[in-house]
Structure 1
Amino acid sequence: MLKGTKLYSVLFMKCPVCQEGDFFKGHPYKFSTMGKVHKRCSCCNTKFELETGFYQGSYYVSYALGVALFMAVVVLNYIFREELTPSSLMISFVVSLIVLFPLLYALSKIIWAQFFFNYDKSRKKAANTIDS
């Protein structure tokens, strides 16, 4: 149902063009390959790094995700805690950031790529006909 949308590519961390090949070399929580992007898609051969330092722009996305995470932590603390102290809020921030850092790092890169790549279902078909 989501296939063909940018959200599908972000949620499943797939190639933004064909949505078949993997975008990252490994799982976000596998520290040896954390955040490493394939040079090209294995299905449609799209080059993921358009220029040197292309993913430095993902820092802006990472900042926005971090702000959203901290806002969610504050709201959840207000909902589920009877008494909210600055130290308990800080502990919640640190724990959530440590647990979610690899995921936020990966999401920031793939969301950044969504600004520059568009889904093209014909690319998957073209890749299959070239290989045969």
Structure 2
Amino acid sequence: MLIGKGSRLNSVFRMKCPRCQEGDFFISHPYSMKKIGKTHKNCPSCGLKYEKEIGFYMGAMYVSYALGVALFVACWVSINLFFPNANVFTQIAVISGLSILLSPYLYALSKIIWANLFFSYDPEAIDKFKRDQTV
């Protein structure tokens, strides 16, 4: 199962905790402009501390860059494939507009992808967290 519970894609696409895949990773929706890209300090379900060290998510810039390049290439190829007579200025306008519209989502996506590179799924994380809370 490619996107079932336990896969990194499940965590990325649902924007859930990389360890338990149940707790929310972000405080709000990626397009909530007041809290854009803000993560919880710890997972509400398993207690995972989302920031390993100060500046941990600075590395997400590399992921964001890769997502931006992928968006550019996908848009450019699609425009040239479906609209072969489109001029350069139209292509620039479409790609720029999509980049601006999708930037909050790509920012959030880059952070959750970065976190999934460093945290792995633990099916018993919630039970361990609950046991530690009762002791």
TM-score class, shorter-chain normalisation, is over 0.9
Q: Normalising by the residue count of structure 2, what TM-score does the alignment of the two structures yield?
A: 0.93
Q: 2:125 aligns to what?
A: 123
Q: In 2, Cα distance between the equivalents of 1:126 and 1:52?
A: 26
Give the Cα separation in 2 of the matches to 1:35 and 1:9: 16
Take 1:130 and 1:108, find their aligned partners in 2: how far apart are those partners?
31
Partner of 1:28: 30
Task: Tell me how far apart the structure 1 counterparts of residues 13 and 131 of structure 2 sit (CA, whole Å).
Answer: 28
Deviation at 1:82, TM superposition (A): 3.6
Q: How does 1:1-132 map to 2 (within 5 A)?
A: 2-131=4-133
Aligned-residue sequence identity (percent) comes to 48
CA positional deviation for 1:115: 1.1
TM-score w.r.t. the length of structure 1 is 0.95
Q: Tell me the CA shift for residue 24 of structure 1.
A: 0.5
Gaps of 5+ in 2: none
Instruction: Name which of structure 1's ranges 80-89 and 62-71 shifts more when overlaid on structure 2.
Output: 80-89
Residue 131 of structure 1: CA displacement? 4.7
Give the counterpart letter for 1:106 in structure 2. Answer: A
Aligned equivalents of 1:130 and 1:92: distance in 2?
52
Question: Number of residues paired by the alignment?
Answer: 132
- Give every structure 1 segment of 4 or more consecutive aligned residues whose post-TM-superposition deviation is greater than 4 Å: none
